[in-house]
Structure 1
């Protein structure tokens, strides 16, 4: 899982007190401190009714859509059908290179493996900072989620690259390559969605999808008792689409007919889910999907 390092030499005077106070406050508000927890802290324990339960067997699977191995019309139809019924699908053969994705995952883990002191310099409660580290949702949660997050504005690259962490040393290059690939893929998917809705392929260009693109690198430390807590609670994303590089760990679940269904990882796949804005724009034809993230012991 991901971390970050900065060494500071402090003078041996009482003027150090504000620094230590700041560091103590940061440590209180960041979950991953470089050690494994023996128990779940009280402020991360959810009421029994909200905790994760063992999934029921389901015959529903998340569609995997091949963007290169079938006809254009077949792809458009599959994307539309996935949106009508589930609001989520996975895409393969999407033209983003495998090494770009694996490098992004690698440097993300390397960031969270860095010493706490280096990661902590990015901690902020300012929702508008282009780069900030936070725990849970970053607001004043009554019960915290078992998650640290590095949020970065990543596109346009030229506007935001200067704010990205300097460590790990190759993070900026990895994020730039990943951001450009994601932007290209999001434009492709939105064009196919527009066609499926009977709109001009460029319908989602401009203001509808013109806001800066942000990346949330979610880090879920090993949890000593996953039955007590959640990585993220049930929610629906606010925008048009979210693109997710899930990695090889199953933790994402969607709510379908009042039952939770696991979104199992597929090698080199990108998960695409629709949000509230897409449901509104499509007059309810495409569903904004409710989803959550669960924890595990590893």
Structure 2
């Protein structure tokens, strides 16, 4: 077993639990009623009973877990496979090639391999891109600052199909996110579009994560403990386990 740079080593209480722990009862929610019964917009439903059941499931999962799995979500498998294939080709390149689109203080999107979470370096490398280009963001953190700045994506030369694969996948993910926000709003007895109306100029982005094999997996984490800052996070599930989530109701 090789040595790990101290910058990656987690404090003992935050190190990964290598024993396989699978929580029971994680909500799995079938979204097929959305695509079977919704006609045009989410306020026009031919089978309101199906929608009511779906809304109830979303509300319960959000209240007690703050996390749930969705199936039959409407994102075509071939688009998922295409972006995964292109992503693997990108990360398989040399560090020199990947760093040609490395993000910095000016170019805030692209490749990055020295990210910190809670002041500990993550055992991962990432590629970030925004859904809307350019993406308009406030020029500063001052609440009264009316100026905006523009974020532009950086795209690698290789693989040549990565850009198109990412952009096509992003469209479907935005649609899924908006549908989920509508369901969450309905579960709170709000109009379906209550949250969506704030997100016309959204700053959604997609992160492609690569976790190289770690020589000391008992010491480091791909991503340290954190809370996401956005309104909603959608995680793509593959055949590699490792995600740990603290349940909202009891912190377990």
Note the alpha carbon deviations across 1:234-288, whole angstroms, 9 max, x for none: 11111211111122211211013343xxxxxxxxxxxxxxxxxxxxxxxxxxxxx
Q: Is the 8 A contact 1:136 1:149 kept in 2?
A: no
Note the alpha carbon deviations across 1:95-131, whole angstroms, 9 max, x for none: 11000011111111111001222101122332x6352
| Structure 2 unaligned spans of 5+ | 35-49, 136-149
Q: 2:180 is matched with which residue?
A: 189
Q: Tell me which of 198, 206, 229 is aligned to 1:215.
A: 206
Q: 1:129 is matched with which residue?
A: 107
Tell me whether 1:43 sits opposite 2:34 in the alignment. no
Moved over 6 A (4+): 157-162
| Structure 1 unaligned spans of 5+ | 1-36, 260-298
Alpha-carbon distance change, 148 to 131 in structure 1, aligned in 2, over 3 angstroms: same
Q: Is the 8 A contact 2:110 2:154 kept in 1?
A: no
Alpha-carbon distance change, 187 to 57 in structure 1, aligned in 2, over 3 angstroms: closer
Tell me whether 1:166 sits opposite 2:145 in the alignment. no
Q: Is the 8 A contact 2:101 2:154 kept in 1?
A: no
Q: Is the 8 A contact 1:154 1:214 kept in 2?
A: yes
Moved more, 232-241 or 82-91: 232-241
Q: 1:99 is matched with which residue?
A: 78
Q: 1:295 is matched with which residue?
A: none
- After TM superposition, the structure 1 = structure 2 runs for residues 1-298 of structure 1, keeping only pairs within 5 Å, are 38-55=2-19, 60-68=24-32, 71-126=50-105, 129=107, 131-137=109-115, 142-155=119-132, 163-208=154-199, 210-256=201-247, 257-259=250-252
Tell me the C-alpha RMSD between the 2 structures.
2.6
Q: Distance in 2 between matches of 1:176 and 1:99?
A: 14
Alignment length, in residue pairs? 221
